[in-house]
Amino acid sequence: MLGRMAVRAVLVWAVAICGVPFRSIAQVTVVKPGAEKVAINTAGMRPAGADAGRVFRATLDSDLERSGWFTLTGEVASLTVAGVAEDSRGRLEVSCSLLYAGRPRNSFKRSYNAQSSDARRLAHRVADEIVEAVKGVPGIASTRIAMIGSVGGRKDLFICDAYGGGLVQVTRQGAVCLAPGWYPDGDSIVYTSFHKGFPDIYRIDLSSRRRTRIVGYPGLNTGADISPDGRSMVLTLSKDGNPELYVMDVSGQRVTRLTRTPHAAEASPSWSPDGKRIVYVSDSSGSPQLYVVSRAGGGAQRISVRGNENVAPDWGPDGRIAFSSRRSGRYQICVLDPDSGEPEEQVTTDYVDHEDPSWARDERHIVYARTARYESVLYLLDTMGDPEIRLTAMQGDWYSPACSPK
């Protein structure tokens, strides 16, 4: 998935190398729905022993509230969390039960064991399991966000947890990094780097920090997105002269060309949840618009209607596509279902730029880059109406977020 800045880079490359035109304009608005919440009382979850129990309880409360599905209350609630989080001799032992009002038996009863230093991580896991048990959707507290951080004039790859904590710098190459994306196992990241002076595709294993160049054709290699089954990637290459879309296996060997538009450029591909289709950006109509093409190739269908510039699509787990659309001079986040025939929905309205959307796995939240007064910051957007959460506080510019699948 490529954000607006990376899309512009592809298109500028196309202009310089191939004489491909790029034009843009502006346009209009829509809003977001609300969500019904479950009242939950967590007072029955008692911390005991050393500090890790209290860290666990505070993190659990924060995660449940930020999930958007619950209202925390100290009064009688429709759902009660009970148990103990005991920190003793460097180990955290947690027992947790859920009880619905009016039901005689627990609907959820589990035990957990972890090192005391992993109290926050364990709380994220428990919060996600509560969300799934109550709402039937995966929680996001245990997931991570990959992003590009521009700090001190360098553009490196960073990761943080779903709510902005635990920020870690992953690369220190002294070379520009762009367009991160996740492998389905959540253990590796694919991204574009100018490490050798040209835009090539790299894979980095997060546990070992081992970096491997997997695509390095002459010209442009960028925007790789890994298929849901982890076997293929789609990306933009200019090895045959014009920036076009290609599919190849993850080893970078077998290559299939998807598009043939000699007077346009293609960028920002994203797989459908079933791996059968790809949404991408092309300026073949004269300005960047969204198109969908079969994984096997063939004719592409334009799916964006409003807005003279639509970029950075991300195909979410429930089949909806989030993207940035330029309207009234600013980029807004919009959502559409390419199969329903329903009109797209604009889910941001502030008069600042909202860019690079990435769906979280709960099908509800979107992480995006908010740019105002020449500063780019990551935010967590709730498409059901809860207040946005600022994720990055460290000095610098933060953009191109990608939510992990696990």
The band of 3, judged by pLDDT with boundaries at 50, 70 and 90, is low
The band of 307, judged by pLDDT with boundaries at 50, 70 and 90, is confident
- Residue 179: both structure tokens together: 């367009």
Which domains does the chain show, CATH number per domain?
4-32+144-403 (2.120.10.30), 38-135 (3.40.50.10070)
Q: Name residues whose C-beta falls within 8 Å of residue 222's C-beta, 6 or more positions apart in sequence.
A: 2, 6, 9, 10, 178, 179, 192, 199, 201, 235, 236, 267
3-state class (DSSP) for residue 150:
strand
Q: Which DSSP string corresponds to 357-383? A: EEE-TTSSEEEEEEEETTEEEEEEEET
pLDDT the model gives residue 260: 93
Q: Are strands 38-49 and 79-88 parallel, antiparallel or unpaired?
A: parallel
pLDDT surpassing 70 at residue 105: no
- Residue 64: both structure tokens together: 């449940």
Cα–Cα nearest to 332, from 402, 381, 292, 291:
381
* Least trusted range by pLDDT, from 10-14, 160-164, 246-250, 258-262: 10-14
Cα–Cα nearest to 51, from 116, 140, 123:
116
pTM equals 0.90
Q: pLDDT of 332-351, one tens digit each?
A: 999 999 998 888 999 999 99
Cα–Cα nearest to 291, from 257, 267, 327:
267
Cα–Cα nearest to 316, from 405, 401, 206, 187:
405
Torsion of CA 288, 3, 234, 245, to 10 degrees: 30
